[in-house]
Structure 1
């Protein structure tokens, strides 16, 4: 199907905004644009009784982490928790662009959300973001009581580049004794850094649908200028052995150049015996989750993700 009416309207407005700017945008300009879009098109910020900012020691500097807790008493064994990594091509996005999204997931799922503000490119290149993710996971594994976390019910997740980080982190956890992840939540994940138009979705939707192949190329060059884009630690699409990964929720978007790679990855997970919930959202584009205040399909995605997250976070019977 074609783009739905809401998505067409948002895309037309964004096109008009970009027409007034000189392209390509510098990272600082892209970040301002990302925040403006989140403010304009994102969900209203759900009020929560407890939102706390932490700083976790990282390999290069302290890593800001924001904890969102449901409006009820802390469970005896700690909260089931989603460790969330924002999207933005490893270059844009932060705690503020995804604040409304994380609040919504927390409120709708009944799960604590820990949002991680990992280092971004070009200031910090590969594997900085992935290293920060591991540092935060290690910190909560060593002191779960400090973060009020039930280590038996931890899910990793994120949108776009955040989905990439989540998969790499989940794979790094295979065989660990101190933590066994309950799930991985992947919203239109960017699993392969190469922007080559070598899939039908990249050929069909790689220009004029929000995320251009030229954007992916710019982000990949900024994050991994050594061009080691086929390494599984940068592009988890190339992970050979997936057995041992936790159950997954995979959301793909019809008019997204990354659609095919997300769906192939979901199929590979299922083929290797991993429980997978896969949904494709029609008529819309990449980043619809952070524009869910204006695009219903983005909100439907978050509702489905929250429902899955709630189920994944239930105590084992």
Structure 2
């Protein structure tokens, strides 16, 4: 189907507000992303408690923001989603995804630990992925301190954050200290290469909110060595998915990344992993972050909430 009226309106408004001379500077791109999140994001849901703290990583302290559904945690700790924001490894932060994380926390009744991993080009591959592992290690070593029930621990993210979540889940296979209960993948960017090597990239790689030129720019910033087929950077190329946890995979019709998300979901199912897959029609990449303006983004988050409830309650 064609673009729905809400998604078309967002694209038209973005075009009107776009700077006359687009900038490639990361600082400018980040500022634009923050403004876009404020313009289209969800109104903040009330949660029981929000706590910010830092976790030590090889590249320095990693800021996290923990959203808790109640002021008093259960004795065993909260069911918890470790969440990695999208933004092409270059933009996005705790604030751009605040509304999304609050929504999941409040409606799914889970703790959401949002991770402010290092961004490119200041920190290149594998910095973001290493920060994710450092956060998981810290939580598994001291679950009581983080108020986490390790038997109900899920990783997730949108776009580039979905990439980080899959890679982290794969690195966790066989660990003695934790067995993940699931992975939540919202329109994940699983293959860094921007080559038009799929129908969705060819059909939706321009004028749909995320274009192949932007993918190329972000991929070059995060992995300038161009090792884009390394499964550690592009989990689409993982040869063996056995051992990954049950998964929720959301794809978007008018998204150049649609096909790779759906192929990945199919491969998970073929290898015997429980998969809930949903395609959201008529809308564009990052709709979950724009769920205040795009109903399909809210529907996606509502479906994610139902899956989270089934996975960890």
TM-score normalised per structure 2: 0.99
Local SS of the residue matching 1:57: strand
Helix, strand or coil: the match of 1:189? Answer: coil
- Structure 1 distance, partners of 2:69, 2:298, is 19
SS in 1 for 2:228: coil
Tell me whether 1:6 sits opposite 2:31 in the alignment: no
CA gap of 1:162–1:48, structure 2 versus 1, over 3 A, is: same
Could you say which residue in structure 2 is the equivalent of 1:300?
Answer: 299
Large movers: runs of 4+ above 6 Å:
none
Residue number in structure 2 paired with 1:17: 17
For 1:125, the equivalent position in structure 2 comes to 124
Secondary structure of 1:289's counterpart equals: coil
Q: Distance in 1 between matches of 2:71 and 2:103?
A: 15
1:84-123 alignment to 2 at 5 Å?
A: 84-123=83-122
Structure 1 unmatched runs, 5+? none
State whether structure 2 residue 229 is matched by structure 1 residue 224. Answer: no
Per the TM alignment, residue 75 of structure 1 is displaced from its structure 2 partner at its CA by: 1.4
5+ residue gaps, structure 2: none
Q: Cα distance, 1:172 vs. partner?
A: 0.3
Mapping of residues 238-257 of structure 1, within 5 Å = 238-257=237-256
2:169 matched to 1:145?
A: no
State the distance in 1 between where 2:310 and 2:252 align.
23
Correspondence list, 1:39-78, <5 A:
39-71=38-70, 73-78=72-77
Q: Give CA deviations for 1:115-151 in whole Å, capped at 9, x if unaligned.
A: 0000000100000000000000000000000000000
Can you list the C-alpha shifts for 1:275-297, whole angstroms capped at 9, x where unaligned?
00000000000000110000000
Give distance in 2, aligned partners of 1:283 and 1:37: 20
What TM-score does the superposition give when structure 1 sets the normalisation length? 0.98
SS in structure 1 of the partner of residue 289 of structure 2: helix
Partners of 2:124 and 2:262 in 1: CA distance? 27
State how far apart, in whole Å, the 1-side matches of 2:284 and 2:273 are. Answer: 27
**Partner Cα separation in structure 2 for residue 249 and residue 235 of structure 1:** 19
CA distance in 2, matches of 1:72, 1:312: 22
Q: CA deviation at 1:72?
A: 5.7
* RMSD of Structure 2 on Structure 1 (CA): 0.7
CA distance in 1, matches of 2:228, 2:186: 21
User: 1 CA distance for matches of 2:269 and 2:235?
Assistant: 16
Cα distance in 2, alignment partners of residues 206 and 24 from structure 1: 20
2-structure distance, mates of 1:62, 1:73: 27
Aligned counterparts, 1:264-303, within 5 A: 264-303=263-302
